């Protein structure tokens, strides 16, 4: 479920002297998904009745729907992050997520004085990987949407099947509309490169009206914000800011490094704003973002 905002802050064009330093950054991936713990329904029911303040019947129906729409846990490791038909590609096509951000490994070149010369960060989910479209819906492959999907249970006679609808993408703040890239030129004294990747989304259109009927609230936008800093001394740091809900994982080179739990479901639901009238729900792409949760971080020389 999510919106992309990448700023490549790249500044310096110095002449090479001595031996240049060339290295590769790690592959960085974040995944947001609704995790169904063994006590998820009871937790949801307590949060909706005690925090949101809705009655027992609507709490039961809302939590039943949310439990069914929870995602399967993502793999803890991916062996092939970039190949079509690889395990990451297959997982992305499963649609079992609320959003992801993938910054593949890229080359960095610095001169002998420690100043940046070149770098080629990209986003593989967009048709123009180095300068992605400003229309966030036009991803390279609609079957693997980095903004995520709303998972919808469909009851059958003896089982349940699912369909997946693309998330509603945040468009209220112009700075969050698509990617924005500055020219890839470097100026004197720049030894580090910053990559910012921001995605924000929420429940799909029809499901927002179902939530309003159950909880008398509008759905908030979840978000994930990746700040990756790469320096010529080969120090690389990754900081992931995120909303309190849902669950978020950080992967480095295809291996899960850390995870932050989804918390404060009641506060998350209320953050979208109370709305007793379905005709007054905010229009698609507009509304309130959820509160911030705990960050995930990684920092190492490569």
What tokens does 33 get? 């998904």
Instruction: Quickly count: other Cβ atoms within 10 Å of residue 233's Cβ.
Output: 11
CA 17/CA 12 separation, integer angstroms? 14
User: For position 178, what pLDDT does the model report?
Assistant: 41
What pLDDT score was predicted for residue 254?
A: 97
User: Is 241 within 8 Å of 292 (Cβ atoms)?
Assistant: yes
> What is the C-alpha to C-alpha distance for residues 48 and 223, in angstroms, rounded to an integer?
22
CA distance 109 to 105: 13
Tokens of 121: 């960060």
Farthest-apart Cα atoms in the chain, separation: 73
For 164, the 3-state DSSP assignment is strand
Those residues with Cβ within 8 angstroms of residue 50's Cβ, 6 or more apart along the chain or in another chain: 266
Distance CA 93, CA 145 (A): 8
Q: What is the DSSP string of 198-211?
A: EEEEES-HHHHHHH
User: What is the predicted pLDDT for the residue at 40?
Assistant: 93
Angle (deg, nearest 10), helices 56-69 and 205-215: 150
- pLDDT for the residue 142: 72
CB distance 81 to 75 below 8 Å: no
DSSP 41: H
Which residues are 107's β-sheet partners? 24
**Total residue count of the chain as it appears in this document:** 302
- The residues of the chain scoring below 50 in pLDDT are 2-17, 132-135, 177-185
pLDDT digits (tens, 9 = 90+) for 4-44: 444 444 333 333 345 889 999 999 999 999 999 889 999 99
d(CA 87, CA 75): 9
In angstroms, the Cα distances linking 121 to 18, 132, 156 are 25, 12, 45
Q: Where are the beta strands (DSSP E) in 87-188?
A: 99-103, 107-110, 116-119, 149-155, 160-166, 168-169
Question: Tell me, what's the pLDDT at 30?
Answer: 97
Q: How many whole angstroms separate alpha carbon 212 and alpha carbon 281?
A: 8
End-to-end CA distance of the chain: 31
256: preceding bond cis by omega (within 30 degrees): no
Residue written as tokens 């031996």? 19
Beta bridge partners of 64: none
pLDDT value for 134: 47
């Amino acid at each position: 479920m999510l919106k992309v905002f990448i700023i490549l802050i790249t500044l310096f064009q110095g002449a090479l002297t001595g031996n240049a330093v060339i290295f590769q950054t790690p592959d960085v991936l974040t995944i947001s998904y609704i995790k169904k713990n063994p006590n998820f329904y009871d937790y949801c029911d307590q949060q909706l009745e005690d925090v949101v303040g809705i009655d027992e019947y609507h709490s039961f129906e809302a939590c039943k729907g949310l439990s069914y729409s929870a995602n399967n846990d993502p793999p803890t490791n991916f062996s092939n992050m970039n190949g079509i038909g690889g395990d990451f590609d297959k997982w992305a096509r499963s649609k079992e997520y609320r959003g992801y951000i993938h910054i593949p490994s890229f080359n960095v070149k610095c001169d002998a004085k420690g100043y940046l010369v070149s770098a080629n960060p990209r986003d593989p989910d967009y048709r123009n990987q180095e300068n992605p479209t400003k229309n966030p819906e036009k991803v390279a492959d609609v079957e693997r949407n980095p903004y995520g999907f709303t998972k919808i249970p469909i009851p059958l006679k003896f089982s349940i099947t699912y369909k997946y609808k693309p998330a509603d993408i945040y468009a209220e703040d112009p700075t969050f509309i698509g990617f924005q890239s500055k020219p890839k030129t470097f100026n004197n004294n720049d030894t580090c490169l910053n990559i910012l990747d921001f995605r924000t989304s929420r429940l799909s259109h029809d499901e927002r009206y179902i939530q309003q009927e159950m909880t008398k609230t509008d759905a908030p936008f979840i978000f994930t914000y990746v700040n990756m800093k790469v320096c010529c001394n080969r120090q690389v740091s990754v900081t992931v800011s995120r909303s309190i809900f849902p669950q978020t994982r950080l992967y480095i080179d295809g291996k899960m490094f850390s995870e932050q739990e989804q918390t404060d479901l009641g506060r998350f639901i209320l953050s979208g704003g109370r709305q007793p009238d379905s005709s007054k729900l905010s229009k698609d792409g507009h509304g309130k973002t959820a509160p911030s949760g705990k960050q995930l971080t990684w920092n190492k020389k490569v």
